[in-house]
């Protein structure tokens, strides 16, 4: 596995729409492995392929340690409720904001083996699913920010 470079705000790639994955190849499974490794090293709970410069509809999420979701072509099919919580992004270091998201979402996706799943998440998992799926459509959490603030370094 390799740690990939996470592109930052200002890179035009972050605003592009990602293309669907048509076939799960060894290159796609290697990308999934590298994305999980990169997410761990960056201490994040989610990462979209576009954030590492790959315009494919792929995200990885880990809100609970050891519970990793690798989603190929994720599609949110249900949303309900409302939550306003703090949010940040590995591509926008030093920025945080209170955003409005659904409290509960159901996402349909394919895993690395080609099996289809539906996952319903609440709280942080719902927020992470929405956040990462937004990346696939070129949207950043700052587009939804109710309140944004610059964070200070903790050195």
Q: Is 150 marked active-site?
A: no
What's the pLDDT tens digit per position in 117-127?
A: 999 999 999 99
φ, ψ for residue 138, nearest 5 deg: 75, 20
CATH of the domain at 127: 3.90.45.10
Question: Containing domain of residue 56, as a range?
Answer: 12-150
**Model-level pTM?**
0.91
Total count of domains within the chain: 1
83 within a domain of the structure (yes/no): yes
pLDDT (0 to 100) of residue 94: 86
The whole-number average pLDDT for the span 3-23 is: 97
Q: Of 74, 91, 82, 86, nearest to 129 (Cα)?
A: 74
Of 67, 118, 132, 152, the catalytic one is 132
| CA gap 87, 97 in Å, rounded | 5
What's the pLDDT tens digit per position in 71-112?
A: 999 999 999 999 999 899 999 998 888 899 999 999 999 999
pLDDT (0 to 100) of residue 149: 64
Q: Give the distance, in angstroms, between the CA of residue 5 and the centroid of all CA atoms in the same chain.
A: 15
135 within a domain of the structure (yes/no): yes
């Amino acid at each position: 596995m390799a740690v990939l470079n996470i592109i930052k705000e200002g890179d035009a790639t972050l605003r592009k729409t990602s293309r669907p994955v048509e076939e799960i190849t060894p290159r796609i499974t290697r990308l999934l492995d590298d994305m999980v490794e990169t997410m761990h090293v960056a201490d994040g709970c989610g990462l979209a392929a576009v954030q590492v410069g790959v315009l494919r509809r792929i995200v990885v999420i880990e809100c609970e340690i050891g519970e990793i979701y690798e989603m190929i072509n994720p599609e949110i099919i249900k949303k309900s409720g409302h939550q306003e919580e703090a949010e940040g992004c590995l591509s926008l270091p030093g920025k945080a904001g209170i955003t409005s998201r659904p409290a509960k979402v159901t996402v349909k996706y394919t895993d690395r083996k080609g099996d289809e799943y539906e996952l319903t998440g609440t709280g942080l998992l719902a927020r992470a699913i929405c956040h990462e799926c937004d990346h696939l459509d070129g949207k950043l959490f700052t587009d939804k920010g109710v309140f944004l603030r610059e964070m200070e370094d903790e050195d």
